[in-house]
């Protein structure tokens, strides 16, 4: 019979394999020897058609370069960077071991190793998501953050849904940290402390917005406050409060319940102190035309 939970886990694992492979490609390109970085691996057949994607418009150039690792395209196949192949092979191996350990009895791994495999896949998903999404305005960011705070708090404090999903579905949708032997917890049968990927991605997108505002002010030759660093510090404080509450209450805690107030209060206080609150609220992070940029610079 069709099992939606297993289908969900497989879908997330496949997504994690692709995203982690792309992230590892960037890592390998940064640290691998020059000879490996410049080496290409030929791919043809079905794999080439899948990687090539839909046919391009007539007259398009034959050679393309994309972040996913595609370097050149020919009639019979494509050539991938060796680092892209290595990244995808590594992530596929990690995902396979993770799936066998979490969904079958074929492989047994220590809790620490299982958490590491899970966290590597989660890291890849987070990294690629942070590079793909952004907030266009402070108002949109605040609306989403506060909405997710209320959502997180409701489903954690007033229902068992969040805790049940986090502990009963083994998929790389969370970061796992082995519980200390003396740590009191209401989840006595679950060997990990948990941090959802959303608790990393959503605050990370907000901090990216703060960095955009900071860079825009500096590009205009105007001094500004360290908003992104303040955001990172506030996020760290929020996480500390989350784990402290978890340790004291021995119960699951909604991380955004602590992180969001820290982020917003720290950001607003910093902007108010430096007289940039109005500019921060009005800032539009979307790409602007030259005339719009000039108008902003004159303000």
Each residue's pLDDT tens digit, 245-282: 988 888 889 999 999 999 999 999 999 999 999 999 99
Give the pLDDT of residue 233.
97
User: Is there a catalytic annotation at residue 152?
Assistant: yes
Q: Check if 284 is active-site.
A: no
Set 44, 152, 219, 284: catalytic member: 152
Each residue of 108-139: b (16+ CB within 10 Å) or e? eeeeeebbebbbbbbbbbbbbbbeeeebebbe
Residue 83 parent element (H or E): helix 82-103
The span from the CA of 181 to the CA of 255, in Å, is 22
**pLDDT, tens digit, for every residue of 145-201?**
999 999 999 998 988 888 888 888 888 889 998 876 555 455 556 778 889 999 999
Please give the Cα distance from 169 to 176 (Å, whole number): 13
pTM tops 0.75: yes
Is 71 buried (19+), middle (13-18) or exposed (0-12) by CB count in 10 A? middle
pLDDT tens profile 54-101: 555 444 444 444 444 444 444 456 777 888 889 999 999 999 999 999
Q: Which residue of the set 25, 76, 111, 199 is catalytic?
A: 199
């Amino acid at each position: 019979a069709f099992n939606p939970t297993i289908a969900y886990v497989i879908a997330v694992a496949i997504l994690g394999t692709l995203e982690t492979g792309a992230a590892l490609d960037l890592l390998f390109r940064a640290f691998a020897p020059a000879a490996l970085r410049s080496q290409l691996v030929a791919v043809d057949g079905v794999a080439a058609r899948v990687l090539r994607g839909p046919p391009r418009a007539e007259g398009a150039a034959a050679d393309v370069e994309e972040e996913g690792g595609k370097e050149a395209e020919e009639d019979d196949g494509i050539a991938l960077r060796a680092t892209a192949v290595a990244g995808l092979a590594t992530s596929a191996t990690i995902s396979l071991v993770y799936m066998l350990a979490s969904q079958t009895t074929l492989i047994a791994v220590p809790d620490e190793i299982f958490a590491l495999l899970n966290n590597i896949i989660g890291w890849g998903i987070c990294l690629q998501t942070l590079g793909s999404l952004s907030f266009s305005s402070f108002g949109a960011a605040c609306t989403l953050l506060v909405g997710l705070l209320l959502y997180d708090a409701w489903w954690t404090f007033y229902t068992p849904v969040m805790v049940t999903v986090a502990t009963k579905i083994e998929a790389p949708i969370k970061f796992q940290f082995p519980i200390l032997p003396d740590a009191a917890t209401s989840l006595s049968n679950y060997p990990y402390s948990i941090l959802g990927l959303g608790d990393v991605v959503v605050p990370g997108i907000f901090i990216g917005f703060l960095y955009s505002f900071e860079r825009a002010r500096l590009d205009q030759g105007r001094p500004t406050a360290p908003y992104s660093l303040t955001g990172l510090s506030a996020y760290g404080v929020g996480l500390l409060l989350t784990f402290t509450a978890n340790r004291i209450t021995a119960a699951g805690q909604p991380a955004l319940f602590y992180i969001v107030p820290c982020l917003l209060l720290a950001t607003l206080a910093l902007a108010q102190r430096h007289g940039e609150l109005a500019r921060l609220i009005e800032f539009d992070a979307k790409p602007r035309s030259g005339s719009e940029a000039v108008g902003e610079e004159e303000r």
